[in-house]
Structure 1
Amino acid sequence: MRSRLASCAAVVGATVMAVALSAMGGAQAAPDSARQSAAALPADLVVALQRDLHMTPQEYVDRAVAAQRVADYASELRRSDSAGVGGAWLAPDGTPTVAVTTQAAANRVTAAGYRAQMVPLSTSGLEMRPTVPNRRSTPPPSFRVATGTTPSTIGGDAYLTSAQPIVSASSYLVCSFGFAAADTAGNPLALSAGHCDPNRPAAGTANAAGVYEPKIGDLRNSRLVGGFAQSGIGDEGGNLDYSVIGLAPGVVSTTGLGQPTVRGGSGSALTITGIAVPVAGAPACKSGQTSGYTCGTIDFADYDTVLGGDGGESWNVRGFSTTACTLGGDSGGAIITGTLALGITSGSSVSHYRDCATAEAENPEGVMSLGIPIHAVLARVNQSSDGCVTLRTAQNPAGVPSSPNCEIETIPAPTPTPTPAPSSGSGSLSFGS
């Protein structure tokens, strides 16, 4: 199925405006998927869970762990029975479910403690077609200010960028930092969205667009904290929407960038414990500079869409869709499930709204947001660069590669298999500006 969404970056001129991307439109789970604790969730994420999903922290973590376990189980079982085993998902009641085409496979799945569901070999007619949103102007973003004892800037917080030095730029973009990473040499990196790079052809060169930590009240004198080392979108990015930001010397010691943490709207931080793969029905929460933590469920674990820009550009992008509200300025921010890194925020059907309450009130059919799987981003980055780029986690805070060829860090994409759950789809989205 194909649908259309809008991106969630923000464009800034003489007055700050937000820009959002639009979208048209079982891998092996991380070994540390079970290393999660409800007690580790920050207060504002708990508030978002109760508000958006009506879940307790323990229910959220339990479902996140269950989703990764059933995805891992189904992926392993397909290696020995590719014809009899399909995809995996969480049912609405949270029950881990595996699609099967034979009674023998059903018996194996049931014996392993999972629900087996017989499916036909065709997925025709299972797709949904989301409503194309109306184009509206994007409201100016308000910048979040760090509070309490948390570092000044970490994942989920805002950055500014422009093709020219910001002190003389006529306009600039507002996006959000995603996850902390490192290359083979230990150099600190931040992962974000590709459409946030205003000069993608120059990424990795001396002319790459700079990335700035906003100076509230005096944006033109914002601090340079790095630049785009790599970025891609659509065909030029392997049908993803991603960027790698190289951090300048001294930034890690004077900010929270480089730490395996992401922050919500109230300032509390969550420590990332590993990497997850998208599983239909699993809970997902995102952290972005505009709307902080918002939560939803994964509608499509594999979703094709077309991102469209205000200048008439369009890109074919593949990721996963969620029901979490995402607004202009949230682009590039972190998407999590439990305490695991799940993806990078790319687009939204409601990015043009000023707040999530209004967006949800005016869209009773629900909202849709597009995420780019973090395992796919790492696989793409490591395919097109020397050495390994590794996510920083609580277990690996320095981002030390586990193997020279990056096999551990780049979880392979799932093999397409028939499933009766809404695990794949396509659509189209348009940018807000």
Structure 2
Amino acid sequence: MRRTFARRAAVLGSAAVLLFGPAAAIAQAEPAPVQTTDLPAELVEALQRDLQISPERFLDDATRSQELARFAETAREKFEAVFAGVWLDQAGTPTVGLTEGDQFDEARDAAVDEGFTVVETDRSEDALNDKLEALNDWLETQPPAVADVIRGIAVDVVNNDVVVRADNVAGIELPDFLRDVRVLFAPAELTPEPALDLRPVAGIAAPDALFGGDAYASLGAGEGLRCSLGFNAEDGSGNPVNITAGHCDPNRAQAGTQWASEVYQLVGDALGQRLGTFEKTSLDNHDYGLIRPSAEAAGRFENNGVRVPAAAPLPITGTADPIVGTPVCKSGLRTGYSCGVVTSTGQSIEIGHRVLRDGFATNLCALQGDSGGTLVVGTLALGISSASNVGQYGFCEVAGVVSGLLGESPELFATPINVILDENPGLKIRTW
């Protein structure tokens, strides 16, 4: 039997080219007031270069996106018959989709009272999910030659329809009731860089603090990988951990045991201090790993910073849920800061031989080595880098040209930080 992709409330969307909608949940904590001076120069430069927006707009959009997330959480229950999703448009306008029905006027008034713009749609979110399930039921009846090409299905909230993700978009023949459905390329796993050539070097001093986006190497089961640290956090007992990508652990089956993969700081092309081991690794459904620092390195993780290597850190003040159209920036050891927008949320998609669920996508370029790095909106933690459709290229400039010739654009797929926190009671992002 084919794996099932559809879930109620699985949604996609598009800002600029494709807009998808949210699977919103209340953020972990209300963010502390922040100023544009809290943003490091490298991040401000990336915002201007990649999005042509000011740091003020970046912070404002982060705030408005979470207001939309909270509204959507309530509207899905209170206005179920007419609610059709939320997103930020290209100008940063917070937008609520509503379809005709008995609750339309009440829902519209509630959205307008919050300062949101209302767009009328043909279908409610429930109707879109029904169409999603119909597509999934059809997929279950298909032979492998057809079904194996399809890697994911989701709801496109802004375009008020369903979207299919596939390896070969030219080879898809959909049934008549899905003739108008758009077919998009599926991303591949963001492969960590091999690191078997690395060896510890005596005399390399250990700097004080390690931040999200800094480089590390993981060694285990005869393999070695280069990746980027994710968000610094604390477990339920108040002990430091770092949240990174699960596929950065080369010995996943032994996480949390005496044979767990070891983690080292990367200093250029050499191994620095041994930082700890993988305590927990998740790959199916949600891609994340928890690094447990050693006693000697624990103090280096007791901060709330995110940065590009060797630069000033961005202070993380809370967590956020992905909302389509929201400006987002990622940090990683290979490509540093780059900024784009959230293009989809609530995705279930096949990556290799596993299905990742509840993820979101962005129009960002990420390459080998960026795996496990951080994605932020404003000063809020958003997600962990997991998969990319251009990870195999050496430079983002090359990736952009080649993907454009294939009719694609760079795309980075991520695991939402709030999904990880919900799966690990007591785990919380450091905000101090």
State the shift of 1:349 in Å.
0.6
Contact 2:98–2:119, Cα closer than 8 Å, also in 1: yes
Contact 1:159–1:176, Cα closer than 8 Å, also in 2: yes
Instruction: Please name the residue that 1:340 is paired with.
Output: 380
Kindly provide the amino acid, as one letter, of the partner of residue 253 in structure 2.
P
Output the CA distance in 2 between the equivalents of 1:135 and 1:189.
24
Contact 1:241–1:317, Cα closer than 8 Å, also in 2: yes
Output the CA distance in 2 between the equivalents of 1:272 and 1:333.
14
Instruction: Please name the residue that 1:69 is paired with.
Output: 67
Q: Give the SS at the match of 1:375.
A: helix
Pair 52,117 (structure 1): closer, same or farther in 2 beyond 3 Å? same
Alignment of 1:266-281 (within 5 A): 267-281=311-325
Pair 215,49 (structure 1): closer, same or farther in 2 beyond 3 Å? closer
Kindly provide the amino acid, as one letter, of the partner of residue 44 in structure 2.
V
Deviates more, 1:116-125 or 1:45-54: 116-125
State the shift of 1:324 in Å.
1.3
Instruction: Please name the residue that 1:111 is paired with.
Output: 113
Deviates more, 1:58-67 or 1:263-272: 263-272
Kindly provide the amino acid, as one letter, of the partner of residue 227 in structure 2.
C
Instruction: Please name the residue that 2:183 is paired with.
Output: 129
Instruction: Please name the residue that 2:337 is paired with.
Output: 293
Q: Give the SS at the match of 1:76.
A: helix
Kindly provide the amino acid, as one letter, of the partner of residue 379 in structure 1.
D
Instruction: Please name the residue that 1:412 is paired with.
Output: none
Instruction: Please name the residue that 2:204 is paired with.
Output: none
Q: Is 2:370 the partner of 1:352?
A: no
Contact 1:139–1:354, Cα closer than 8 Å, also in 2: no
Pair 63,134 (structure 1): closer, same or farther in 2 beyond 3 Å? closer
Output the CA distance in 2 between the equivalents of 1:114 and 1:55.
21
Give the one of 292, 299, 320 matched to 1:246. Answer: 292
Pair 136,95 (structure 1): closer, same or farther in 2 beyond 3 Å? closer
Instruction: Please name the residue that 1:43 is paired with.
Output: 41
Instruction: Please name the residue that 1:302 is paired with.
Output: 346
- What is the CA deviation profile of residues 122-166 of structure 1, one whole-angstrom value per residue up to 9, with x for unaligned ones? 3353425333579999988999xxxxxx855321011111215xx
Q: Is 2:260 the partner of 1:200?
A: no
State the shift of 1:27 in Å.
1.6
> What is the identity percentage for the equivalent residue pairs of Structure 1 and Structure 2?
35
TM-score, normalization: structure 2?
0.73
Alignment of 1:8-407 (within 5 A): 26-33=24-31, 35-101=33-99, 102-119=104-121, 120-121=123-124, 122-123=127-128, 124=131, 125-127=161-163, 128-131=182-185, 151=208, 153-164=210-221, 169=222, 171-219=223-271, 222-234=272-284, 239-253=285-299, 255=300, 257-265=301-309, 267-308=311-352, 314-318=353-357, 319-364=359-404, 365-382=408-425, 388-393=426-431, 397=432
Output the CA distance in 2 between the equivalents of 1:105 and 1:180.
39
Instruction: Please name the residue that 2:140 is paired with.
Output: none
Q: Give the SS at the match of 1:240.
A: coil
Output the CA distance in 2 between the equivalents of 1:375 and 1:215.
31
Pair 198,140 (structure 1): closer, same or farther in 2 beyond 3 Å? closer
Output the CA distance in 2 between the equivalents of 1:216 and 1:266.
11
Output the CA distance in 1 between the equivalents of 2:403 and 2:260.
39
Output the CA distance in 1 between the equivalents of 2:367 and 2:400.
12
- What is the CA deviation profile of residues 276-316 of structure 1, one whole-angstrom value per residue up to 9, with x for unaligned ones? 000011111111111111111011012222222xxxxx210
Pair 356,251 (structure 1): closer, same or farther in 2 beyond 3 Å? same
- What is the CA deviation profile of residues 4-49 of structure 1, one whole-angstrom value per residue up to 9, with x for unaligned ones? xxxxxxxxxxxxxxxxxxxxxx322344247332221001011111
Pair 31,214 (structure 1): closer, same or farther in 2 beyond 3 Å? closer
Contact 1:322–1:368, Cα closer than 8 Å, also in 2: yes
Output the CA distance in 2 between the equivalents of 1:80 and 1:91.
24
Contact 1:178–1:191, Cα closer than 8 Å, also in 2: yes
Output the CA distance in 2 between the equivalents of 1:321 and 1:217.
30
State the shift of 1:342 in Å.
0.2
State the shift of 1:217 in Å.
4.9
Output the CA distance in 2 between the equivalents of 1:216 and 1:109.
51
Pair 208,265 (structure 1): closer, same or farther in 2 beyond 3 Å? closer
Which structure exhibits the higher relative contact order, with contacts defined as CA atoms closer than 8 Å and separated by 6 or more residues?
1
Deviates more, 1:120-129 or 1:88-97: 120-129
Output the CA distance in 1 between the equivalents of 2:416 and 2:189.
26
Output the CA distance in 2 between the equivalents of 1:336 and 1:131.
25
Deviates more, 1:316-325 or 1:70-79: 70-79
Listed as ranges, the gaps of 5+ residues in structure 2 are 6-23, 132-160, 164-181, 199-206
- What is the CA deviation profile of residues 368-397 of structure 1, one whole-angstrom value per residue up to 9, with x for unaligned ones? 110100000111123xxxxx111111xxx3
Kindly provide the amino acid, as one letter, of the partner of residue 72 in structure 1.
R
Pair 40,28 (structure 1): closer, same or farther in 2 beyond 3 Å? same
Cα RMSD after superposing both structures: 2.7
Contact 1:138–1:354, Cα closer than 8 Å, also in 2: no
Kindly provide the amino acid, as one letter, of the partner of residue 236 in structure 2.
T
Q: Give the SS at the match of 1:129.
A: strand
Instruction: Please name the residue that 1:420 is paired with.
Output: none
Pick the structure with more helix per residue: 2
State the shift of 1:218 in Å.
3.9
Contact 1:193–1:331, Cα closer than 8 Å, also in 2: yes
- What is the CA deviation profile of residues 313-332 of structure 1, one whole-angstrom value per residue up to 9, with x for unaligned ones? x2100200001111111111
Contact 1:161–1:210, Cα closer than 8 Å, also in 2: yes
Pair 178,109 (structure 1): closer, same or farther in 2 beyond 3 Å? same
Count of residue pairs brought into register by the alignment: 343
Pair 228,358 (structure 1): closer, same or farther in 2 beyond 3 Å? same
Output the CA distance in 2 between the equivalents of 1:182 and 1:53.
33
Output the CA distance in 1 between the equivalents of 2:212 and 2:192.
23
Deviates more, 1:129-138 or 1:107-116: 129-138
Contact 1:106–1:118, Cα closer than 8 Å, also in 2: no
Kindly provide the amino acid, as one letter, of the partner of residue 107 in structure 1.
D
Listed as ranges, the gaps of 5+ residues in structure 1 are 3-25, 144-149, 309-313, 383-387, 398-433
